Amino acid sequence: MACSSSTSSSSSSSSSSHNEERPHVLAVDDSPVDRMLVERLLTNAGCKVTTAENGQTALEFLGQHTTTNRDLKVNLIITDYSMPGMTGYELLKRIKESPDLKDIPVVIASSENIPARIEKCLEEGAAEFIPKPLQQSDIYKIGKRVWKVKGEEQEAMKNEFIECLKRLEEELGDKPYFGGETLGFVDVVLVPITSWFYTFETFGNFSIEAECPKLISWIYKIGKRVWKVKGEEQEAMKNEFIECLKRLEEELGEKPYFGGETLGFVDVVLVPITSWFYTFETFGNFSIEAECPKLISWVKRCLERESISKSLPDPLKIYGFAKQLLFGVE
């Protein structure tokens, strides 16, 4: 099977230029779920991600690495250790033996903590050896490899990210919220993504507030409104949020997952937002499970998968983050 990429092609020369400047990560894993999770985490971190289901497919893609098409240039490789046919260690050796590929950093991931295996991979030239499933803390390690570009390349990446935020600002316009005078579904979905802003600013050495003041004002406005309002206004906002969740329940229906019998793209995208449920419930003083039992059953079903449960941040830490950093609540 051919490699798949999370970045769609575009006929626009500016879009093509942007794609070339984004850090490009090749993720190799025989597990479809693990591939989706890695792709989701890295894409959210601003990377272009190409996935391959085995080592041979990865090598075939990497064989195009020296072509004149800069869009194929790979900046980092993350590979599972235990794969049928060609292990991650064997893939690592093939890469390090190639004059054209040996300088690409390779991260090995494994669900088994075997010291001899770790030592062997590091001696062969692996940049990192990380436990599976991939967790948020691992993104920081990988980020140091992906984001340690300097000069013009870093500036180009930073500008691309800022351009995306400015597009959101344009969509927001002079409205207090994306939903207009009241919170809408887009507001609710975007809030969790803002928890990555500090990471982006730290790695990129820039200020989102200086570049996109309206967007930051929206964040503070959301925080004050969602978690500081009382009485009828809070009740109205709570009902609107619950209505959004009920729409998701309707879409889920009687299926175990949004993707049907197996996890689909919608499941992978929505799962991280559920880490914020505890924060929403605590500040809003309500129970999502009481209002949307099918949706919570779906959350629990997803969390039964170790590859998902171990890749999500602690809801209590998110609650603390929301109080102390985003919303200035002591």
CATH number for the domain including 262? 1.20.1050.10
Higher pLDDT, residue 94 or 268: 94
CA dist 81 to 53, 103, 144, 206, Å? 12, 20, 21, 36
Q: Residues 238-267: pLDDT tens digits?
A: 787 788 788 888 888 999 988 888 777 677
**Global model pTM greater than 0.85:** no
Q: Work out the mean pLDDT of the chain and round it to a whole number.
A: 77
In a domain, 66, yes or no: yes
**Do residues 176 and 141 both lie within one domain?**
no
Going by C-beta distance under 8 Å and a sequence separation of 6 or more, which residues neighbour residue 284?
A: 226, 227, 234, 237, 238, 241
pLDDT value at 144 more than 70:
no
Is there a single domain that holds both residue 48 and residue 87? yes
| 234 and 129 housed in the same domain | no
| Residues 128, 15 share a domain | yes
CA distance 320 to 302: 24
Q: What is the pLDDT of residue 19?
A: 46
What are 52's two structure tokens? 């391959």
- 64-105 pLDDT per residue, tens: 655 545 557 888 899 999 999 999 999 999 999 998 898 888
Question: Do 201 and 93 lie in a common domain?
Answer: no
Domain count within the chain:
2
State the sign of the Cα–Cα–Cα–Cα dihedral 269, 270, 276, 278: negative
Residue among 152, 161, 222 at smallest CA distance from 18: 161
Q: Is the peptide bond before 133 cis (omega within 30 degrees of 0)?
A: yes
Q: How far apart are CA 25 and CA 39, in angstroms?
A: 9
Looking at the structure, do residues 177 and 321 belong to the same domain, yes or no? yes
pLDDT digits (tens, 9 = 90+) for 9-65: 322 333 344 444 567 899 999 998 888 888 888 887 777 899 999 999 999 999 865
| Cα separation, 231 vs 262, whole angstroms | 41
Chain position carrying tokens 């605590």: 282
Q: What are the backbone angles phi and psi of residue 323, rounded to the nearest 5°? A: -70, -50
List all residues 6 or more positions away from 277 whose beta carbon is below 8 Å from its beta carbon: 288, 299, 315
Indicate whether 154 belongs to any domain.
no
Domain annotation covers residue 142: yes
Interatomic CA distance for residues 39 and 305, integer angstroms: 17
Which residue reads 């436990």 in tokens? 131
My answer on whether 49 and 136 are in the same domain is yes
Residue 246 sits in the same domain as residue 124: no
| Domain that includes residue 291, residue range | 171-326
Can you say whether residue 128 is alpha, beta or left, with left for phi > 0 and alpha for psi between -120 and 50 degrees?
A: beta
Q: Which of 12-26, 174-188, 280-294: highest mean pLDDT?
A: 280-294
